[in-house]
Chain A
Amino acid sequence: MSNYSIALIPLLPLATFVVLGLFGRKYLSAFAGIIGTISLLISTIISLVTAYQYFFISGKINGIYQPIIALNYSWLQFTPSVSIDMGIMLDPIAMMMIVVVTFVSLMVHIFSLGYMKGEERFATYYAFLSLFTFSMLGLVLSSNIFQIYMFWELVGVSSFLLIGYYFDKPSAVAASKKAFIVTRFADLGFLIGILILAYSAETLDFGTLIARLTDASSPYFVNAAGASFIGISALTWGLVLVFLGGAGKSAMFPFHIWLPDAMEGPTPVSALIHAATMVVAGVFLVARLFPIFAFDAAALTVVTYVGAFSALFAAIIACTQTDIKRVLAYSTMSQIGYMMFSLGVAKHGGEGGLGYMASMFHLFTHAFFKSLLFLGAGAVIHLVHSNEMKDMGGLRKLMPITHITFLIACLAIAGIPPFAGFFSKEEILLAAFHSNKMVFFVALFTSGLTAFYMFRLYFSIFWSKESHVHENGHGEGTLTMKLPLVILAVFAVFAGFFPIASLVTSDGLALETHIDYLFSLTPVALAVAGILLASSLYKSENSKPQSIATTLGGLYTAAHKKFYMDELYMFITHKIIFNLIGKPAAWIDKNIVDGLMNLFADTTAQISDNMKGLQSGKLQQYASYFFVGVLGFMLLFIYLWN
């Protein structure tokens, strides 16, 4: 593959966006889906070939996978050494990501052909999907930290546009705004982090940045590690702030609040953006800068605990939600928490790099089974016309393919062997076990919870009560909806056998891994226990879940209300920012600053108003002024004379 054809991978979706965005609505409405899908299919093929060539032909130099700069253009030169470049960097994680992004995006494109059929803004939908795919591919291929920031923002805006796709629904508009603003706030941290790192290393280029900040003897490193602000080194500040941006996009606590609301978007969009690709951008960012993170224990600790806490926190909430997409959203947050803390417990290179590999492995497998879960949920919603569990139940007979594929995905996420999730989760637990016992136990407990809430979801949709949904003609949906489910299910089964350990590692060297069956016994047993518990509670309709909820009382309510995080945010934004900063600022401007200006003008007007009486045009008045004036001057002269 020549370097220019690699550029086609992101540029084809961009071209689709431009064409559909400009002409789609008027001229191409009927073909928009086909155009988008075919262009993405080409993109997918090129990225598969590129990844194949990188992994098996050209990527290894001296037995180690090296980053290769395929293209690089100077885009904005600040100083001779600092510039924003637009480039394409090939390395193992970028290769893995382009495969995941193009593949999942392709599945979603195909699924949407049926799911979104008949929508008034069908072409616009595909234009936005293409914009997103372009931005996400640009993000993962970036060779420059500012470039990644730019695509990061573009990904954010495409997410905004897609969440707000049903723009006449106030809840969708509110959700899209929330998603954008919360991530934007986190991005502010990212931006300042970039400024700090770039100022310390005097470069924005990833390769140079990493080289300079991981060499303990370089003046750049000494400078960054030495300068401190309130006792924390510039390097740590930079990394933590960059991680803040990652936490925003990846919906880590406390920035997770936008993700559940983002489910207002069309379901295939949730599958693509809010499950498989965009939300793992934060994980990707930490992985991209991992060599520097590995050098800074403090920053890595932050990553570990934020990840572990989010994993547990989200899993607890997921057990109490009744909207099936929200359950999946919290489950996504929880799984991303796994990826995060897995990176946090890793070291650079060698055996210590297990966590890094495991994180990337889980990112890879998760993309398949989670997008499968969302697409399956989409098929269900398509049939039932509701997101609520109470409107579902007994659907296994009506939609057999969806049922089987959904079950496979549930088994995969629960970590049952030999499904994909088992292998990646096992590596994560192993990595945590070796370096941080507390995190390990949190993760172990969470994996039990995961199995429980996933099967709660599964039984509530497909078993529980008898179905009362009437066959409304389209049944399970079109072939284009079923096909992606089947393909993704195949991957949800087999992706675990993919040799990620020898391809994607922290130092480019293959990692020896083996499944320790004795070690696996505990997590698998916990997962099975979770499934059994869910089965006893939800397989057939009974009153036990209700009574458990009553027993738990406040704890259940708190989890059901998502631990009041939304209320907290509302309080901060409306009560504090709007009422205590915004309103006073507007008031001061109108009354004090402008008031002073008006006062100035009014006083001038007043003075001249008083003075205008002098110009009355009355002769006698002028004569008397004259007389008084002459008299005054005379007195003055007499006074001065003496």
Chain B
Amino acid sequence: MTNLSILVIFPLLTTFAILFCRNVTQIKWTALIGSLLQLTIASLLMYSYYGERAAGNTAQMLFEARYSWYSAMNIEYYVGVDGISVIMIMLTAFVVTCGILISWKIETLTKEFFFLLLLLSVGAYGFFISLDLFTMFFFLELAVIPKFLLIAIWGSGKKEYSAMKLALMLMGGSALVLIGLLATYFNTDMGGGVHTWDLLKIAHMHIPYETQLFIFPFLFVGFGVFTALFPFHTWVPDGHSSAPTAASMFLAGISMKLGGYGCLRVATYLMPEAAQHYSWIIVLLATIAIIYGAFATLMQKDLKYINAYSSVSHCGFILLGIGMLTKTALIGAVMQMVSHGLMTALFFGAIGMIYERTHTRQIKELGGLLKTIPFLSSVFIIAGLCSLGLPGFSGFVSEMVVFVGAWQQPDAFHRIATILAAASIVVTAVYILRAAGSAIMGPIKNEHFNHLKDATWNEKMASVLLIFAILSIGLAPFWLINIISPDTQIIMENIARGAIGN
């Protein structure tokens, strides 16, 4: 498994295959088998990544491949992976597979739905393997546009408004990213006025301090929009609540992580001095997002809004980890990306499955589901417990790593930010138990709920897959930390070098 491009080509082939399918059954099975093969490829990638590292390969990026794309501007199709990308690829594969499993009952425009869903995965994989900034941007855009259609066509509620809002805000974010990337490009120098998009080369160049200060906000805010940076998070609640289940899963599970990954890999890694300069603003905004998101969740009445606002709060931990600029906190940020991706996918999945049966997501109208659909209710409770950071699940591990990393910044500002962020775990417990207490537990509020059918095979399979992934991090986090740790070390070294250079 040395050819990374297969990660992009294979889903692309699956989308074409779907176009040639004749009926709904064929479409669904093609999509499912395609996604299961993606999962296999991703697992093989991780396996060979481990093998290479165990064999002592210490190159920063493994399995690199490079083809010139547009030589006049030095744009290349340049791919390679390190531990962080491998983990994100695994996450994508899990979420896509489970999203397809959960969408088994899509009846309108089935072909188009699965086509778009798989197209999104092409964008995500491409983004995570790219080492050329332009290619990376290309894939980022590829992961935005299908979402507009997914929400506008298969969504619910005020779907046109939400789809438009989401697409415009994310497009706005990527416009900022584009400005930042262009500015970066024109400030690189390969000798003789030749510029480069090569991420690794740029990382080893010294971009002047003032230039970094100018570029960094574009990159960080641009990517930040994707990961619900306060105050650019308002697409999250509307977007998620209108999106069909699989799209919500994808949106929260992967799309929001594209932003976090970009903030870390592009903004922080390439502009280390500016990252230090602005870090207090990041910490401030992240803390606001965490606390304010949590309190806003407290007041929501719709299950999807609850999870959407809680995503704002949880994604704050990613940004907090990045803003703290300690190695442990960066590890925590990456772990939180993975953990939140899995957990929120499970949560949206559970909400979607419940909604499909009860036709309501208002917690006031639900109640007593544990009695009639115990499997789905248990899945909901497990997702909730993971969200409130129960030990044994991934959420606990990643949040604790962020806290421990954040505490290593000894000044009062960072301490207070950390304590406030930690205080959110109480608020989280309140809103999760409030939702579970009245929607899942309690007496049955609607006669119709007595005749609900519990999970079907595909829904069970999706839930079990995600719970398995969550537990594998929550019970044995060492494998994850081992795979991430060397790469965060490299980012930290860049930051430390920046500090000396300054």
- Residues of A in contact with B (beta carbons under 8 Å apart): 25, 74-79, 82, 84, 146, 149-151, 153-154, 157, 160, 164, 167-170, 173-174, 176-177, 180-181, 184-185, 188, 191-192, 195, 198-199, 577-578, 581-583, 585-586, 589, 593-594, 596-597, 601
Contact = CB atoms under 8 A, between A and B. Distances in A.
Contacts of A594: 234
Interface residues of B, number: 58
Given A582-B299, A585-B296, A77 B481 contact: yes
Contacts of B425: 184, 188, 191
Interface string B393-408: 0001100110111011
A78 B405 contact: yes
Contacts of B165: 597, 601
Contacts of B418: 195
B286 to A, nearest CB: 16
Contacts of B385: 157
Contacts of A167: 370-371, 440-442
19 contacts: A78-B328, A84-B400, A150-B396, A153-B389, A154-B390, A154-B392, A167-B370, A167-B440, A174-B437, A177-B433, A181-B433, A184-B429, A577-B298, A578-B298, A582-B299, A586-B300, A597-B165, A597-B232, A601-B168
A589 B235 CA distance: 11
Contacts, number: 126
A180 B433 contact: yes
A76 B403 contact: no
Q: Is the interface of B mostly helix, strand, loop or mixed?
A: helix
A589 B442 contact: no
Q: Which of B237, B298, B327, B410: most chain A Cβ within 10 A?
A: B298
B51 interface: no
Contacts of A589: 234, 237, 292, 296, 309
Nearest to B434: A177
Nearest to B291: A585
A168 B371 contact: yes
Interface in B398-454: 400-401, 403-405, 407-408, 410, 418-419, 422-423, 425-426, 429-430, 433-434, 437-438, 440-444
A578 B390 contact: no
B169 A181 contact: no
A589 B237 CA distance: 10
A267 to B, nearest CB: 20
Interface of B: 165, 168-169, 230-234, 237, 292, 295-296, 298-300, 309, 327-328, 368, 370-371, 374, 385, 389-392, 396-397, 400-401, 403-405, 407-408, 410, 418-419, 422-423, 425-426, 429-430, 433-434, 437-438, 440-444, 476-478, 481
B412 to A, nearest CB: 8
A142 to B, nearest CB: 12
Given A168-B444, A195-B418, A593-B234, 4 more contacts: A76-B477, A76-B478, A199-B407, A582-B295
B234 A170 contact: no
Contacts of A157: 385, 390
Given A77-B481, A79-B328, A167-B370, A597 B169 contact: yes
A358 to B, nearest CB: 33
A191 B422 contact: yes
A167 B370 CA distance: 8
B442 A153 contact: no
Contacts of A154: 390-392
Contacts of A582: 295-296, 298-299
A586 to B, nearest CB: 4
B437 A177 contact: yes
Q: For the complex of A and B, list the 6 residue pairs with the smallest distance between their C-beta atoms, beginning with the closest.
A: A150-B391, A586-B299, A167-B441, A585-B295, A594-B234, A582-B298
A583 B299 contact: yes
B478 to A, nearest CB: 6
B391 A153 contact: yes
Nearest to A138: B391
B478 A77 contact: yes
Given A153-B396, A585-B295, A170 B403 contact: no
A578 B444 contact: no
A185 B368 contact: no
Given A585-B295, A593-B234, A170 B404 contact: no
A582 B434 CA distance: 14
A492 to B, nearest CB: 35
B235 to A, nearest CB: 8
Contacts of A153: 389-391, 396
A174 B481 CA distance: 38
Contacts of A77: 478, 481
A182 to B, nearest CB: 10
Contacts of B233: 593
Given A170-B443, A188-B423, A589-B292, A181 B430 contact: yes
Contacts of A198: 404
A243 to B, nearest CB: 17
A199 B441 contact: no
A169 B442 CA distance: 6
A54 B404 CA distance: 35
Residue with the highest number of chain B CB atoms closer than 10 Å, among A157, A585, A593: A585
A74 B476 CA distance: 10
A499 to B, nearest CB: 36
B437 to A, nearest CB: 5
Nearest to A186: B426
A76 B442 contact: no
Contacts of A583: 299
Contacts of A596: 231
Nearest to B444: A168
A586 B296 CA distance: 4
